[in-house]
Amino acid sequence: MKRVLLFVATNMAILAVITVVMRLLGLDNTMSANGINYTSLAVFSILWGSVGSFISLAMSKWMAKKAMGVQVIENPSNATEQWLVDTVRQQAESANIGMPEVGIFNSASPNAFATGMSKNNSLVAVSTGLMQNMKRDEVEAVLGHEVAHVANGDMVTMALIQGVLNAFVIFFSRIIGFALGQAMRDEDGHASTAGYYIGSIIGQIVLGFLAAMIVCAFSRWREFHADEGGAKLTSSHSMANALRALQRSSNQEKLEGEFAAFGISGGSAMAKLFSTHPPLEERIARLEQRQSF
């Protein structure tokens, strides 16, 4: 979940900065005196929507390290760190990807995530709680799940989807701004510049959240595929056991809210719309069904 939420949050922040910069430089002049120049607006939206998404992708590994305090294992200092690095290396070779950076971050909850700009430039990180509360075969399955995310190219695919959604957000937020500006004409019949800016910003915020819901839905779908990938790199039995271990942990104590990386636990209907992971029960059922074949 960290991987997705950090990406979405970074993307929205970058999109906001791009919007402000374009305003200040006067490059957001996609409206004409006679109405909206849809062609110019579409080109503008696609260009800056894609830029925002891929800047977010390029920053994803750096942001994850800073936000979570990940300590990258450059020279293993103990047997556990050596095992982590060796396990990820073996799985990366099996998945035919470049060796990811391997890191540990301090968290009592059993969490893990993977991020990075490409299959050959990635990071796999686990929490101290995961290492302390899970068995070796369960940790290995979790690592396999994260390596599968990298091998499946999930972050790149997400960046492409986010880029398309950004384009829609920019396009329709400007239309909303234009409409509000027209509705707030002054006594001389001139469209309100303030109305256009306010409408554009509000539209971008609202549509941005709708776009985030779509990204989260895609993320939930990809989790099933990462579970399958983790099962192939280890076994369906180990992958299911890892999910059960997380389920036991989540029953004992509430996961760390929006930073629960490897799974989720219930929540309101609105929270589920922004959940990046399907319910653990569904994921376990999928794996058990896979074992029966």
CB 80 within 8 A of CB 38: no
Residues catalogued as catalytic: 146
Nearest to 127 by CA among 59, 69, 178: 69
3-state secondary structure 40-89: HHHHHHHHHHHHHHHHHHHHHHHHHHHHHCCEECCCCCCHHHHHHHHHHH
Q: Which tokens sit at 103? A: 């890191």
Query: What is the distance of C-alpha 114 from the center of its chain?
Result: 10
Q: How far is CA 57 from the centre of its chain?
A: 9
Q: Are 266 and 277 in contact (CB under 8 A)?
A: no
d(CA 291, CA 277): 21
